[in-house]
Structure 1
Amino acid sequence: MMLPVYVLCLVFLLTVIRQIGNIRLDLWQIMGLGAFVVLLTGQISIQEAIEAIDLDVMLFLFGVFAIGQALETSGYLSFISYNLFKTAKNMDAIILYLLFGMGFASAFLMNDTLAIIGTPVVLLLARQHQIEPKVLLLALAFAVTTGSVASPIGNPQNLLIALNSGIKDPFMVFGRYLLLPTIVNLIVTYLVLKFFFREHFSAAALNHSTSQISDPKLAELSRISLVLFVLLVCAKILVQLFVISFDFRLTYIALIAAIPVLVLNGRRSELIKRMDWHTLVFFVAMFILMESVWNTGFFQNFLTDTQHSVISVPMVLSVSVILSQFISNVPLVALYLPILSHASVDTGGLLALAAGSTIAGNLSILGAASNVIIIHNAEKKGNIRLTFMEFFRIGVPLTMIQTGIYWFFLSFR
């Protein structure tokens, strides 16, 4: 029964080294290997594996990937990038624009969305201004993770807490408790990045050049899809705010918004072919492996046996940051939330779970789905390999500092 846990540990090890002999492994191949092993050894049945795949997540990612690919292929993404960053005069400004622009956008458009759209933007910026791309990729990853903490719809685990914890007026509560520490943590992220990459923070002025739209018709359809996506997200926020009984899933938002680029576009076959299918394979494999690990009861038993000692704010933060690395943040929240509710933990404890399970993504590549999306896209579109240890050496101190800041604000409210 413990084999899936051992397989998960092997997946982590392979993610760290990424290479066996002369064979270089991609993240989707490593996770796929883990899923294949638990299937082959009968740790999870074919039926259970199929049921474990979250179709809503897969369709959401498919829709957003389609929009992102259309934006990039048409040249409209380059146009947007120029208009967003044209007033950034130096490296410091670029990093701050990334952290606060992508950070706050992720609070409402979800971190995975910004990871998909943001990766080609930062690769373009790096190429145009001869900036080390890994600095910008890390800034993007940390921005979309940290920024998403402050909203109940910033990421799936926050939404789960908002809907199932009994918190009234979740947008107001999340904002009141988590907005200020999130702003502080985005500033901290800037300082940490500048400390580790100080040789890249040149004071030299940046010259921005406009990019030509290569396909005006596709660019217009891409713009319509992007506007549709934003409007539908706003509609979902209103549904949440006014507690309207309507099943307004994120899946519907992504698929409806993708209609212009997939249905009205003559280049749909090319777009579909060029989409990041490897990341979708990674998620399918991850759902299967995590379900197999879940079925062992290993982590459930750990939390149940120690529930009296894991309900304080510092312990909720610490445990959720660490365990999210192993069972992913959404399953962690699904497991942890009933324990906190049974113990009648106050709002601070519930929001500690939201903050901890989210900033877990800043600790390692596997701590957040958005990290995987960014890493895969960087390798596919820019041939840039950001390794586990490159991420980890900055993610550890950053996550420790951010955890302390959320602990301070949540404990003394």
Structure 2
Amino acid sequence: MLPALNLPLIILAAVFVLIAVRQIGSIRFHIWQAMLMGALVVLFTGQIEPGIAWAAINMDVMLFLFGMFVVGQGLEESGYLAHISYKYFRRARSRDTLLLMILFGIGIASAFLMNDSLAIVGTPVVLLLSKKHGMSAKLLLLALAFAVTIGSVMSPIGNPQNLLIALNGGIQNPFLTFLRYLLLPTLLNLYLTFLLLKKFFPDDFHEAELRHSQEPIRNHELAVLSRLSLRIVLLLVLAKIVTAPLGLGIEFRLTHIALTASLPILVGSSRRWRILRNIDWHTLVFFAAMFVLMESVWRTGFFQSLIKQSGVNVATTEMILAISVVLSQLISNV
């Protein structure tokens, strides 16, 4: 006998439908608004207590995202991102090379700067490249999406789900562990993506030479601070990789990397309030609301009962992989 449906599950289903259709009548909804409404409904209907809802929000994830969003916003707003993008992409002499550089450059960068941040700051970069070189914006935006999704897999700070696994999985040296098992598959899939995009967008690949133009830095003070923040991220990641196997007793959480990196911008920039206003608060609201809604759903025991009654051993590698692939299409992968 299947477990009975209840209100949190109905609310979750309604949220999924709203996210899919995005519109009721003339009213359009963003994904974060749909998730927030779901969280508020389970709160106001008493399906989850406020204290439990607050505890369900993973502050490590929230603070990490906040810190990385600050760094990303500083890089974008100062013009430093466009500047270093020019210095990187100017080496591309053909469209093949440009696409490979987008996939591998942004893919590898997303492993250390969080794919949400790279998606936000990378969008204007690839749109600029599309305009300059007469390439399909759809092609380059898809390349960006594939790059940040695939590239972020190989690092514990590449995406929120990896961060949760690294924080709660008891992995002693998450950077080395992730790279050991996921570096080669990630690089292989990035190259396969290149072949796939070439197949579906053949008209964008011809022999005309690319012409690059330099993008000026818009705010030199903020650019200096953003560059410092970027270096802090890389330095602390390297420090965590080196110190973990040495057993020095030095412990700093992944969250500390992001928050420390954001300090030069938050403390030193005269534009700190503008940056704080412009970071992606909607994504932060989405994650907070999702934690609350999913905790409410989990506490119904529906999925636990369903798994128990199925008699399937979900602890095997094959089942974990299959269930993760299927359910992540329906429920947030976080």
TM-score tier, shorter chain, comes to 0.7 to 0.9
Does the 8 A contact of 1:109 with 1:233 survive in 2? no
Which residue of structure 2 lines up, in the alignment, with residue 358 of structure 1? none
Q: Is the 8 A contact 2:173 2:241 kept in 1?
A: no
The CA deviation at 1:235 is 1.4
Q: Tell me if structure 2 keeps the 8 A contact 1:78–1:124.
A: no
CA RMSD for the aligned pairs? 2.7
Tell me which residue corresponds to 2:186.
182
Q: 1:250 matched to which residue of 2?
A: 254
Q: Which residue of 2 aligns with 1:329?
A: 333
Residue of structure 2 in register with 1:55 after alignment: 59
Report the alpha carbon displacement of residue 309 of structure 1 after superposing the two structures with TM: 4.3
CA positional deviation for 1:209: 0.6
Mapped to 2, the partners of 1:241 and 1:110 lie a distance apart of: 24
- Per-residue CA distance 1:373-402 (angstroms, 9 max, x = gap): xxxxxxxxxxxxxxxxxxxxxxxxxxxxxx
- 1:119 is the counterpart of 2:123: yes
Consecutive unaligned residues in structure 2, runs of 5 or more: none
Which of 260, 276, 294 is the aligned partner of 1:272?
Answer: 276
Match of 2:243 in 1: 239
1:93 corresponding residue in structure 2: 97
The answer to whether the 8 Å contact 1:109/1:230 transfers is no
Q: Please tell me the residue identity of whatever aligns with 2:273.
A: S
**Aligned-partner Cα distance in 2 for 1:122–1:160:** 29
Question: For the Cα contact (< 8 Å) 2:157–2:254, is it kept in 1?
Answer: no
CA contact (8 A) 1:8 1:326 kept: no
Query: What residue is the counterpart of 2:7 in the other structure?
Result: 3
Contact 2:68–2:114 (CA under 8 A) maintained in structure 1: no
What's the CA shift for 1:292? 1.4
SS in 2 for 1:296: coil
Contact 1:31–1:285 under 8 Å retained in 2: yes
Distance 1:166 1:28, change over 3 A: closer
Alignment partners' CA distance in 2, 1:84 and 1:162:
31
2 CA distance for matches of 1:202 and 1:79? 26
Which residue does 2:29 correspond to in 1? 25
In the TM superposition, residue 86 of structure 1 has moved relative to its aligned partner by: 1.0
1:287 aligns with 2:281: no
Larger displacement relative to structure 2 (207-216 or 103-112)? 103-112
Structure 2 length as normaliser, TM-score? Answer: 0.86
Task: Name the aligned partner's letter for residue 28 of structure 1.
Answer: W
Aligned twin of 1:198 = 202
CA distance in 2, matches of 1:287, 1:170: 23
Please tell me whether the aligned partners of residues 118 and 140 of structure 1 are also in contact (alpha carbons under 8 angstroms). yes
Secondary structure (helix, strand or coil) at the match of 1:329 reads coil
Cα distance in 1 between the residues matched to 2:49 and 2:172:
40
Q: TM-score, normalised by structure 1?
A: 0.71
Are residues 1:211 and 2:218 paired? no
Distance 1:154 1:267 in 2: 27
- Greater C-alpha radius of gyration: 2
**Whose relative contact order is higher, 1 or 2, with alpha carbons under 8 Å and at least 6 apart?**
2
Alignment-mate amino acid for residue 21 of structure 1: G
Change (3 A) 1:205 1:217: same
CA deviation after TM superposition for structure 1 residue 250, in Å:
2.1
The amino acid that maps onto 1:37 is: V
Deviation of 1:85 (Å) = 0.9
Once the two structures are overlaid, the 10-residue window that deviates more, 236-245 or 213-222, is 236-245
Higher fraction of helix: 1
Structure 2 match to 1:379? none
* Residues 172 and 244, structure 2, Cα contact 8 Å, conserved in 1: no
